[in-house]
Structure 1
Amino acid sequence: MIKAVAVDMDGTFLDSQGQYDRERFEGIFQTMLEKDVRFIVASGNQYYQLRSFFPEKEEQITFVSENGALIFKNREVLKENHFTDNLVQELLAFLQAESSELEVVVCGLKSAYMLKSATQRFKEFSALYYFQLAELDSFADLPEDVIVKFALDVPVDQAPKVVADLNEAFKDQITAVSSGHGSIDIIIPGITKGSSIQWLLDQWGIAPNELAAFGDANNDLEMLALTEHSYAMKECSPDVLATAKNQAPSHNEAGVLQVLEGLLS
């Protein structure tokens, strides 16, 4: 019996236009509430962006944001993991010296932060994913906040070197991962969507195989590995296809909703 559902957003729950069938989901969500099935939104994106997709439902949903670093419920933080202040400063100094073409968003609990000098292209791109986003004259002006992730943008041909340099310079202190197209995330080692969802399941007394999980990208692997009821979307990475036990239809065909209707019936 399914007692919890965890969904990635981009490429999984959302279609290519960043939308979902809200009317269809309404019926599914009401069934989940009636059956006491927990609904978890698990994404690399910012909490404030994620909750905007579920107006009037946000207090009934658990949000695992920033690839597992932050867990929110009822607008409150249930659990958080962050870098030390010293490591944040060391990383910023390293990034400044690494490449003059590198751009960065520093992701905190209260807000995300970027430089006023960032390119307009990067500002517009970042605004899609960070609804709480402040522009600073310098990262020396970072407000009092805990930092949970760094999101980088570099020329595509520089990305492999930047990832390798970061992981070598800060071995065991950070994990740098490329998500393609010159995008790089610096995350906390050992903190993933999977580890955070396992923590939630433990709190709720739910067994891993009572979870249904849906994903399409490699930051979903640990989450999908938790349960036999794991679903790779039709358009997914080879690693996701190898890890998930089942396959869902395309995100452009409301694949998650199709599967949930069957699981909850």
Structure 2
Amino acid sequence: MIQAISVDMDGTFLDANSEYDHERFEEIYANLRQSGIKFIVASGNQYYQLKSFFPGKDHELFYVAENGAVIFHNNKLLSVNQFSNTLVEKILRTLTEDYQDLQVILCGVKSAYLLKKADPNFKEFARKYYFELKEVESFATLPDDTFIKFALDVAIHQTTQIVEQLNQTFQDDIRAVSSGHGSIDIILPGVTKGSAIKQLLTQWQVNPEQLLAFGDANNDLEMLQLTPHSYAMKESSEEVLATANNIAPSSNEAGVLAVIEHYLDDKSNTPTK
């Protein structure tokens, strides 16, 4: 029996307009609470942005943000995996010196940071996903924060190449992963949505086989590998489609809500590929 549900947001839970059917979700969520099923929001995005989608539920939901680097619950930081400042400085030098036309966000626990000289279109894009965002003159002096992730924006056709180059340059110090649509996240090795969710499941004494998980991009792979009840959205990356055991309707068809409703109605009958 399902005891926990984890959902990616962009391209999974949210539609193309970054919306979802609130009324339908509220009805589903009431049933989840009644059944004691925990709901995990698992995203590469910032905690302060994620919680804005679920007003009034901070004391109930669990947020695995920044691709597993942090876990928040009830407005409290439960777990953090951080880069050393020395490594942060080394990565920033490489990004600014070796790559042209690459936009960078330095993600901290308190806020995210970008350069004042960054492309105006990128700034507008960044404000959509980072509700706590500050502009700085330079990264030569690091802000007073704990750093957990780098978010990069690159030309879509360069994504795979840059991911491979970064992983080769820094070897075991970092892990670069595509999060879709020209976005690249640089995270610590072993820190993933999957590792953070596994930590929560262990605390709750919930077996991974009791997890229902949804994703669409490569930063969801470890989360989907946790459970046989894994769902790739219909419009997912090839790797996600190959990894997940099931396929859900697209995010524009409210695929996550449809599958959860199915489980609530008939837990013994799960659609497969």
Structure 1 distance, partners of 2:253, 2:164, is 37
Q: Residues of 2 paired with 1:247 and 1:154: CA distance?
A: 29
Structure 1 residue 134 corresponds to structure 2 residue 134: yes
Q: Which residue of 1 aligns with 2:125?
A: 125
Alpha-carbon distance in structure 1 between the residues aligned to 2:252 and 2:153: 27
Once residues 186 and 66 of structure 2 are traced to their aligned partners in structure 1, the CA distance between those partners, rounded to angstroms, is 10
For the residues of structure 1 that align with 2:226 and 2:158, how far apart are their CA atoms?
34
Aligned counterpart, 1:10: 10
Work out the percentage of aligned pairs sharing the same amino acid. Answer: 58
With normalisation by structure 1, the TM-score equals 0.95
User: Aligned pairs, how many?
Assistant: 265
Pair 1:33 & 2:46 matched: no
Tell me, what secondary structure is at the counterpart of 1:9?
coil
In structure 2, the partner of 1:234 is: 234
Tell me the alpha carbon deviations over residues 36-82 of structure 1, each in whole angstroms, 9 at most, x when there is no partner.
11000000101000000000112210000011111000011111101
Cα 1:250/1:171, change in 2 over 3 Å: same
C-alpha spacing 1:160/1:7, structure 2 compared with 1 (3 Å): closer
Aligned-pair distance for 1:229? 1.1
Q: 1:155 to 1:237 in 2, by over 3 A?
A: closer
The secondary structure found in structure 2 opposite 1:139 is coil
Task: Find the counterpart in structure 1 of residue 76 from structure 2.
Answer: 76
Q: Deviations over 1:93-112 (max 9, x none)?
A: 11121124222100011100
2:224 corresponds to 1:224: yes
Q: 2:144 — aligned with what? A: 144
Deviation digits for residues 18-49 of structure 1 (CA, Å, limit 9, x no counterpart): 10000000011111111111000000101000
Gaps of 5+ in 1: none
Is 1:91 the counterpart of 2:69 in the alignment?
Answer: no
Correspondence 1:257 to 2:257: yes
Which residue number corresponds to residue 109 of structure 2? 109
Alpha-carbon separation, structure 1, partners of 2:156 and 2:231: 30
Are 1:156 and 1:182, in contact at CA under 8 Å, matched by a contact in 2? yes
**2:173 is paired with a residue of what secondary structure?**
coil
1:139-218 matched pairs, under 5 angstroms: 139-156=139-156, 158-218=158-218
String of CA shifts for 1:120-167, please: whole Å, max 9, x gaps: 011011111111000001113432111111111234555455333322
TM-aligned CA distance change 1:209 to 1:160, over 3 Å: closer
Amino acid at match of 2:196: S
Asked whether the equivalents of residues 178 and 217 of structure 2 are also in contact (C-alpha less than 8 Å), the reply is no
Match of 2:271 in 1: none
Structure 2: distance between partners of 1:25 and 1:136: 39
Indicate conservation of the 8 Å contact 1:136/1:142, yes or no.
no
> What displacement does 1:175 show?
1.1
Helix, strand or coil: the match of 2:11? helix
TM-score computed with the length of structure 2 as normaliser:
0.93
Distance in 2 between the 1:103 and 1:35 partners? 44
In structure 2, list runs of 5 or more residues that go unmatched: 266-273
* Aligned AA (2:120): Q
Segment of structure 1 superposing worse, 241-250 or 176-185: 176-185
Alpha-carbon distance between aligned partners in 2 of 1:126 and 1:184, rounded to the nearest angstrom = 13
Q: State the AA in 2 paired with 1:190.
A: G
CA distance in 2, matches of 1:231, 1:107: 29
Q: Is the Cα contact below 8 Å between 1:95 and 1:102 reproduced in 2? A: yes
